[in-house]
Amino acid sequence: MSVEARLSHGQLFSWREIERYPEDWLAEANLPSTWDLRGSSVEHVLRTLRRLMDRHEALRTTYHVVGGAPVQRVHAAIEPPVEVVDRVVTDPGEHELTKAELLAVPFAMEGDLNWRGRLVAMHGSPLYLSLTFSHLIVDLWSIHHVQDQFKALLADPGATAVTGPAPRELARRQREESWRPRQEGAERYWRGVLAQGLTDALPTLPAKAKRNRLELTLHSRALGGWAAEAGRVHGVTAPAVLMAFVAAGLARHLGTDRVTMSLMSSNRFAPEDQHNVGTMNQLVPFVAGVDPRATLAEHVKRLHWASARAYRHSCYDFDRIAGLAAELGERPEHGCWMNHLFRAWFNYIQVDRRPSDARDPEPAELAWTPLAQQYGQAFRVRVEVRGGRTSVLMLADPDVLPAEAMTDVMRTVAAGARLAVTDPGRALKDLWDGTDPAPPPALFPPDPPPYTPSPLAPAP
């Protein structure tokens, strides 16, 4: 037996985002996780997965369209979608190949359980479990919770855990009268953002449409350390430091004194939401003023507090906001509100707790992606911190930011994070006047690679 309910705000946002993907890019919604199973048994692992599914409705949820609207269907009991494979494993990196194989297979938006796994054993003894989850049902925060609880249950079947409200319970609460002040606050905030104007210089695409894009990634062990130090010096966060210099570089190349940045929010600021297992991420925009005459310290603090205000209104009903935008005269020529409302976005993910070291001498790397993501917004930055290394991935429409401009924005981020610590009274415009020595090799390569068109990319 199953129970049908409306979607929570986070679920609806994920649905609207993923439904615009071209069919051959749907696997981009997948999130991987690999769990060590050594010392257990196949039967015990499967029993533990069933306990997790009993505990968390998100793992028993499928999506369907009823009357033209997406709904969630929570199933009372269902078997784990995990295949068991027993084979001889000699390659210590074999689990990475399994992860890549599963990650490349998209989920159907309707009717699929939206997670799957492969349990690999050798001679009857489990080695690892490779899992893939769709962002439709969980976010990265949730995967960490589920993994921690799996380990605890594997060690002790009676282990308990603090859990938050299930997604359908959140959906119910978000439509109650008690939620109305938050809804009205979010709508007032959006009215203000729309009144100030979106980043009109950034072209957007219809849903499922593709266009050749450029994608550049900066890898640096020192960058995260400098951003963290700058955050401590100025009383802000490391993500805010990096985002501030992304905004500065973008504004410079667009020839404007403000840009509208959209931030990915986890929407887990309230204690009761810390332990929810589901998908809660939503983008929220804010208008960032970029004054070249401001000091680096002033610029970083201004953008930090503007973004902090945006986070207060980051949980909202996407369809209501799209309707509000239409009432206010916003008319995307192609009808794709997801691309229209979030033209430039920034996301920061701290994968683990290992700190970054600003004095790490390992040389930074800059690399072009052979085939960039071809759909969605015209400008996107995703920062991932893993194992002490910071990776800044930047995607842009070449008509907006050509390759040379993207490289310059990356240099701005690297130089700005360091100077925000070593010379915070310097003016923002000084980042580009040529008087400052180049960032050290640990932050930015002295000879950045030029962009070379890849044969993987289709002709424009």
User: What does the DSSP assignment read for 385-422?
Assistant: EETTEEEEEEEE-TTTS-HHHHHHHHHHHHHHHHHHHH
Query: Which tens digits make up the pLDDT trace of 418-460?
Result: 999 999 999 999 999 887 778 999 999 999 999 988 766 655 4
Query: Which tens digits make up the pLDDT trace of 231-243?
Result: 999 999 999 999 9
Q: Which of 283, 241, 257, 265 is nearest to 197 (CA)?
A: 257
Query: Which tens digits make up the pLDDT trace of 306-358?
Result: 999 999 999 999 999 999 999 999 989 899 999 999 999 999 998 888 999 99
Q: What is the pLDDT of residue 24?
A: 94
Residues 136, 113: Cα–Cα separation, whole Å: 10
Among the residues of 24-130, which ranges form H helices? Answer: 42-55, 94-103
- CB count within 10 Å of CB 288 equals 25
Indicate whether 122 pLDDT > 60. yes
Residues 440, 360: Cα–Cα separation, whole Å: 11
| Strand-pair partners of 259 | 288
Q: Is the pTM of this model over 0.85?
A: yes
Residue 159 DSSP symbol: -
The HSE-up count of residue 248 (CA atoms within 13 Å, CB side) is 35
Helices first, then strands: H and E counts in the chain:
12, 14
48-52, 152-156, 208-212, 350-354: range with lowest mean pLDDT = 350-354
Average confidence (pLDDT) over 192-212: 89
Assign 202 a pLDDT band (cuts: 50, 70, 90): confident
Measure the CA dihedral 378/218/392/221, to 10°. Answer: 180
- Domain 2-172 sits in which CATH superfamily? Chloramphenicol acetyltransferase-like domain (3.30.559.10)
Average confidence (pLDDT) over 92-109: 96
Indicate whether 285 pLDDT > 60. yes
Residues, the chain, total? Answer: 460
Q: What is the pLDDT of residue 459?
A: 52
Which residues have C-beta within 8 Å of that of residue 205, sequence separation ≥ 6?
211, 334, 336, 339, 375, 376
48-62, 289-303, 424-438: range with lowest mean pLDDT = 424-438
Average confidence (pLDDT) over 143-159: 96
Kindly give the pairing relationship between strand 344-350 and strand 258-265.
Answer: parallel
Q: What is the pLDDT of residue 460?
A: 47
Residue 427 DSSP symbol: B
Average confidence (pLDDT) over 405-415: 97
Average confidence (pLDDT) over 235-257: 96
Residues 135, 375: Cα–Cα separation, whole Å: 17
Average confidence score pLDDT of the chain: 94
Q: Reduce the DSSP state of residue 144 to 3 states and report it.
A: helix
Residue 246 DSSP symbol: H
Q: Is 399 or 230 the better-scoring residue by pLDDT?
A: 230
Contact 229, 355 (CB under 8 A): no
Determine what percent of the chain is predicted with pLDDT higher than 70.
98
CATH code of the domain made up of 182-432: 3.30.559.30
Among the residues of 257-335, which ranges form H helices? Answer: 296-311, 318-327
Q: How far is CA 412 from CA 240, 252, 401, 418, 419, in A?
A: 14, 10, 14, 10, 10
Assign 392 a pLDDT band (cuts: 50, 70, 90): very high
Q: What is the pLDDT of residue 438?
A: 86
Indicate whether 131 pLDDT > 60. yes
Q: Is 197 or 299 the better-scoring residue by pLDDT?
A: 299
Contact 130, 117 (CB under 8 A): yes
Tell me, yes or no, if the two domains 2-172 and 182-432 fold the same way. yes
Q: Where are the domains of the chain?
A: 2-172, 182-432
191-200, 299-308, 368-377: range with lowest mean pLDDT = 191-200
Q: Which of 136, 118, 138, 137 is nearest to 128 (CA)?
A: 118
Residues 443, 212: Cα–Cα separation, whole Å: 28
Q: What is the pLDDT of residue 277?
A: 96
Q: Which of 375, 349, 344, 341 is nearest to 250 (CA)?
A: 344
Q: What is the pLDDT of residue 458?
A: 58
